[in-house]
A and B are shown apart, each in its own frame.
Chain A
Amino acid sequence: MTTTLHNPAAAEVSDIDRSARCSLSFLIFSALGWLVAGGVLALLNLIQAHSPSFLSECSWFSFGRLQALQETALIYGWSVNAGLAAGLWLLIRLGGAPIRGANYVGVGAIFWNLGLTLGLIGIAVGEMTSFSLLQLPRYIQPLMLVAFAVSSAPGVLAWTGRRAESTYATQWYVIAALFLFPWFFSAAQVMLLFAPVRGVLQNAVAAWYGQNVLSLLLAPLAIAVLYYIVPKIKGKVLPAYDFAIYGFWSLVLFGSWIGGRHLIGGPVPAWIPTVAIAAAAILLFHHIIVAINLRGVFSTEGSIVLKFAAAGFAAYLLTGIGDAVFSMRGPAAVTHFTYFEQAQLQLALASFSLLVFAALYYLAPRLFGAAWPSAGLIRAHYLASLIGFTVLIVSLAIAGWRQGVALNNPELSFAAIAAQSRPWLQVATAAQALLVLGNLALLVHFIRLMLGKASAESAAQFRQPQALEASAS
């Protein structure tokens, strides 16, 4: 009794987890570092949005460069590192064998983070590509591609070498992300940077790429987490699991078509945004199926992991609905070119972040064989994330809507428009500050866990009967 109380997670730790401890903890540590750094950059960027003269003396932090910096740090630093860590862990767990080629993860991750650091310096001195979500300088991008391929190879090995022949939804989603990202990353690099296509065709390719990052890299990794932890924690088979496969293929088939909504009204063939509108509506089929499968996440029964997951899943469903509604021509006439689109991007990132937070809180104690040192820090992070993301997204959406209505009124000057959105941008800034504090708490907490000062306090946060191991997959 006393031993389990002191170390409740120990029973859950197997050779499988231990084999991946070094490489995955490096990925998570770098992810959290980038999360805090990117959050601070985003905070500075939001301050500039309502006070343009802030840091304007410094060319490294002009508004445009800072926006590229924060977006790149959060996508390529936080999201890819953390998503890869969660995805690899899920694959080796479901593969049922210790990680093979763990060193590939480490080497790939070192080069990925090194390349990213150089790339961010490159952006700061003015070498960004100007394509949204693909801002890293041209010369660093091939390195990033190779580094990602190397560090995700053990995931593919875990899939091909799995013990059970049948596969589970989590595995499909992770493998899809690991396989498709190099596919569209390399295609975008060639068509935009090394042998650029002509004229506005570049903007079509960039829209396709940017949407793929959200729909085919981040979304599958986040949904994979849910398909694993929901049945695990609740100890129940997912309802209507037979339909999961249709949900999966509808995301893979239609996810990348909806990027064209960012080109609505622009100098491109009109069918591109039209197809995007249709695809965004069809994609709701995917959202309905995952909502049916995973609706159990909303009865959290006191599990903090499920609370994070429920918030993230709610954001995920809202992202889908938002994309379908606001890609249509009527609403887009107001929201296009405004902070509202930023709010939609932040909503997508929030759903990913919250779901990966859930994964980290679930997997890290198993990785280290020790419970999280402080339940209070987890709760603080949860509250900060929940309030921070909600306020940030709502205030950006309101700022954007007001900005959009005002832009459509030719009588209003830009000074008047800025005055209308400024108070909401100030609220968003405060929310971003709260998010940074929450994420800092997670970083500190993770370092404490790594350094191994376990305590019994958070035992209650992990209701993990060993018996559940067999039932989920």
Chain B
Amino acid sequence: MKNGFLFFFGLFFALALSWGALVLGTNAQLGDLSPHYDDLEGKSFPERPSGLAVRGQAVYQDLGCASCHTQQVRRADYGADQARGWGERQSVARDYVYQSRPLLGTSRVGPDLANYGVRAEEAGKSVADVLADLYNGSEGMPSYRFLFETRKIDGEPSAKALAGVAPAGYELVPTERAETLAAYLLSLKQTYAFAEAAPYEADDSKEGAH
């Protein structure tokens, strides 16, 4: 390899190839993905997250929640995601168009959260219940007590205080970070049936063919 210029050009080009395909190629495919407007419902999906949820996402990111929780449901015949009740359809790229940083996650030490909001709604969980979960933790999840503060009741007790934890005369209240995090978690929903999320179905006329 005596030609230095050719050598450097080769190195540059080799990486440009994978960059061009994986990055530019994907960008060409998904770069102008837009929300889907549903005429019947009169609004577009996915819905834009509330300001509180957007701030909560920053908390989720900075605590590193994504190192134990994914936010992606795989198709029904790949893994047990849907059998575990994490979602009724697979996640698709359109679900994430409004997220400034999609936190797909890489590890499932805990359950997937792509549809946490849906599950919480079905279980009748209020914001206070979600906050209590964060405060208490569970066998597999640490408690996040630093997201709460115990303070002396000064005048009227706070309506947001968690019941039955603080000693008399004190109250345990969630910090703003805890509240936005709870709002974010409750906002996680991937329910709208995008056409591209429907499972592939083989043509009936060629039954058995894949």
Residues B111 and A268 in contact, CB atoms below 8 Å apart: no
Q: Is the CB of A200 within 8 A of B30?
A: yes
A262–B143 Cα gap in the complex (Å)?
Answer: 29
Q: Which of A22-30, A122-130, A370-378, A451-459 contacts B (4 or more CB under 8 A)?
A: A122-130
Q: Does A407 contact B (CB under 8 A)?
A: yes
Q: Is the CB of A57 within 8 A of B145?
A: yes
Which B residues, 28 to 64, have Cβ-Cβ distances below 8 Å to chain A?
A: 29-31, 33, 61-64
Instruction: Determine whether the beta carbon of B106 is less than 8 Å from that of A199.
Output: no
Option from B11, B19, B68, B145 in Cβ contact (under 8 Å) with A208: B19
Contact yes or no, A57 B146, CB < 8 A? yes
Residues of A within 8 A of B144 (CB): 56, 62
Measured in the bound complex, the distance between the Cα atoms of B30 and A202 in whole Å is: 11
Cβ-defined contact, B23 with A256, below 8 A: no
Q: Which of A81-89, A107-115, A143-151, A175-183 contacts B (4 or more CB under 8 A)?
A: A175-183
Chain B residues whose CB sits within 8 angstroms of the CB of A341 once the complex forms? 106-107
Verify if A201 is at the interface (C-beta below 8 Å from B): yes
Are A199 and B33 interface neighbours, CB within 8 A? yes
B208 within 8 A of A: no
- A408 near B111 (CB under 8 angstroms)? no
Q: Is the CB of A267 within 8 A of B90?
A: yes
* B157 CB-CB contact with A under 8 Å: no
A130–B26 CB distance below 8 A:
no
Residues of A within 8 A of B163 (CB): none
Q: Does B199 contact A (CB under 8 A)?
A: no
Q: Are A202's CB and B140's CB within 8 A? A: no
Q: How far is the CA of A256 from the CA of B72 in the complex (A)?
A: 24
B119 within 8 A of A: no
The CA of A198 and the CA of B98, in the complex, are separated in Å by 8
Is the CB–CB distance between A64 and B68 below 8 Å? yes
CA of A418 to CA of B109, assembled, Å: 8
Asked if residues A52 and B101 are in contact (CB atoms below 8 Å), the reply is no
Complex alpha-carbon distance, A67 and B146, angstroms: 19
Decide: B30 and A338 in contact? CB cutoff 8 A: no
Distance A205 CA – B102 CA, assembled complex (angstroms): 12
- What is the CB-to-nearest-CB distance from A119 to chain B, in angstroms, rounded to a whole number? 14
B180 to chain A minimum Cβ distance, whole angstroms, is: 13
State the B residues within 8 Å of A (CB).
1-2, 4, 7-8, 10-12, 14-15, 17-19, 21-23, 26-27, 29-31, 33, 61-68, 70, 72, 74-75, 78-80, 83-85, 90-93, 95-97, 99-111, 137-146
